[in-house]
Amino acid sequence: MQTLSIQNENGIAIITINRPDVLNAVNDVVVAELGQAVQNTTDDESIGVIIITGAGEKAFVAGADIKAMSKMNAEDALTFGQNGQKMTMLIEDSPKPVIAAINGFALGGGCEIALACHLRIASENAIFSQPEVKLGLIPGWGGTQRLPRIVGKGKATEMILTGEMISADEAYRIGLANAVVPLNELSKTSLKMAESILKNGPNAIAQSLASINAGSGLQIKHGLEMEVKNFSELFGTDEAKEGLTAFIEKRPPKFRS
Ligand code: CO8
């Protein structure tokens, strides 16, 4: 891949967006490669958790590539926007948890990639913003849809209408970041969270993500119906038998070979 590197660390895939000269700005090559990398790591049975991060110490992703966008007409922008949305849906729909390890600026499309991830861990120098209105644009890769679902409509509206940057601490305060750690501990903390998830049943994890994602668009009554169906289906799996038996036998469960 031209714009990404992928490592497998004991069942945890680390995908690094690697265009540090432009603060990891996302052009159409990154959109295609990131989508492919998420698909490949999702399909890889040796992988249980995926981490997405940016190269260098300054940026996770400073947005869609503004130089590339300056040459687009409305038709090009529609294709670029739709391809970016497909890539974010691959992240959100992955049955394997995707953690954004946010190592600096997460702006515009960079914030939107982080929003599509299931969990977000920020370094202390991370900065979040949806600054599209400053360019005469609006978010196009899910910012108007996912940000209100994560931080609430009021705060999301403020961020999108002002385009102002917020600090990692503020992102944590409003529930946008799950944790804030010093930059030199970001990788270790992200891996630790991934390892703690890896101890749990992979089907249960996939069904948890599916239930949370599907439920956010449903009325509570329909969400509860879907949840109990997913809950009961797990009773047919070896994984649930192992989890329940291990508790009774007072031993740790063994979910993965
Ligand atoms: N696109 C292209 N190049 C970029 C980008 C970007 N988003 N961000 C930074 N760069 C480049 C700079 O041009 C510069 O390159 P060069 O050295 O060749 O001039 C290099 O990265 C380093 O950047 P700076 O010198 O500007 O570094 P500073 O520390 O001074 O500033 C900032 C850092 C504050 C992050 C600044 O670079 C900045 O404001 N960047 C743009 C941020 C932004 O507006 N992002 C949102 C873009 S819009 C978007 O993401 C829409 C997503 C939805 C798309 C839907 C498609 C239709």
| Beta bridge partners of residue 49, listed in sequence order | 12
Q: Per-residue pLDDT tens for 121-150?
A: 999 999 999 999 999 999 999 999 999 999
Does position 189 have pLDDT exceeding 90, yes or no? Answer: yes
Q: Token pair for residue 50?
A: 């995926």
Angstrom distances, CA of residue 19 to CA of 4, 62, 64, 67: 8, 10, 12, 14
What DSSP string runs through 176-244? S-SEEE-GGGHHHHHHHHHHHHHTS-HHHHHHHHHHHHHHTTS-HHHHHHHHHHHHHHGGGSHHHHHHH
The closest residue, in CA terms, to atom 11 on ligand 1 is 22
Q: Average pLDDT in the 55-59 region?
A: 97
Q: Is 63 in the pocket of ligand 1 (CB under 6 A)?
A: yes
Catalytic pick from 45, 75, 132, 242? 132
Q: Average pLDDT in the 57-74 region?
A: 98
The closest residue, in CA terms, to atom 55 on ligand 1 is 140
Catalytic pick from 9, 45, 75, 112? 112
d(C-alpha 202, C-alpha 74), whole Å: 42
Q: Which fold has domain 202-248?
A: Lyase 2-enoyl-coa Hydratase; Chain  A, domain 2 (1.10.12)
Angstrom distances, CA of residue 74 to CA of 77, 79, 81, 211: 5, 9, 10, 36
- Say how far residue 11 (Cα) sits from the centre of its chain: 18
Q: Is 142 in the pocket of ligand 1 (CB under 6 A)?
A: no
- List the chain domain ranges: 4-198, 202-248
pLDDT at 142: 98
Percent of the chain with pLDDT over 70: 100
Does position 200 have pLDDT exceeding 90, yes or no? Answer: yes
Angstrom distances, CA of residue 224 to CA of 43, 201, 216: 29, 21, 11
Q: Is 141 in the pocket of ligand 1 (CB under 6 A)?
A: yes
Q: Per-residue pLDDT tens for 219-254?
A: 999 999 999 999 999 999 999 999 999 999 999 999
Q: Average pLDDT in the 184-201 region?
A: 97
33 is a catalytic site residue:
no
pLDDT at 94: 98
pLDDT at 169: 98
DSSP state of 124: T
Using an 8 Å Cβ cutoff, are 110 and 167 in contact? no
132 is a catalytic site residue:
yes
For domain 4-198, is the CATH number 3.90.226.10? Answer: yes
Q: Is 132 in the pocket of ligand 1 (CB under 6 A)?
A: yes
Using an 8 Å Cβ cutoff, are 237 and 255 in contact? no
The closest residue, in CA terms, to atom 15 on ligand 1 is 22
How sure is the predictor about 217, in pLDDT bands with cuts at 50, 70 and 90?
confident
pLDDT at 222: 97
Q: Average pLDDT in the 108-123 region?
A: 98
The preferred substitution site among 17, 19, 22, 57 for testing ligand 1, maximizing ligand atoms within 8 Å of CB, is 22
Angstrom distances, CA of residue 67 to CA of 23, 89, 110: 13, 25, 15
How sure is the predictor about 257, in pLDDT bands with cuts at 50, 70 and 90?
confident
Q: Per-residue pLDDT tens for 148-177?
A: 999 999 999 999 999 999 999 999 999 999
d(C-alpha 24, C-alpha 7), whole Å: 18
Average pLDDT of the residues of the chain: 97
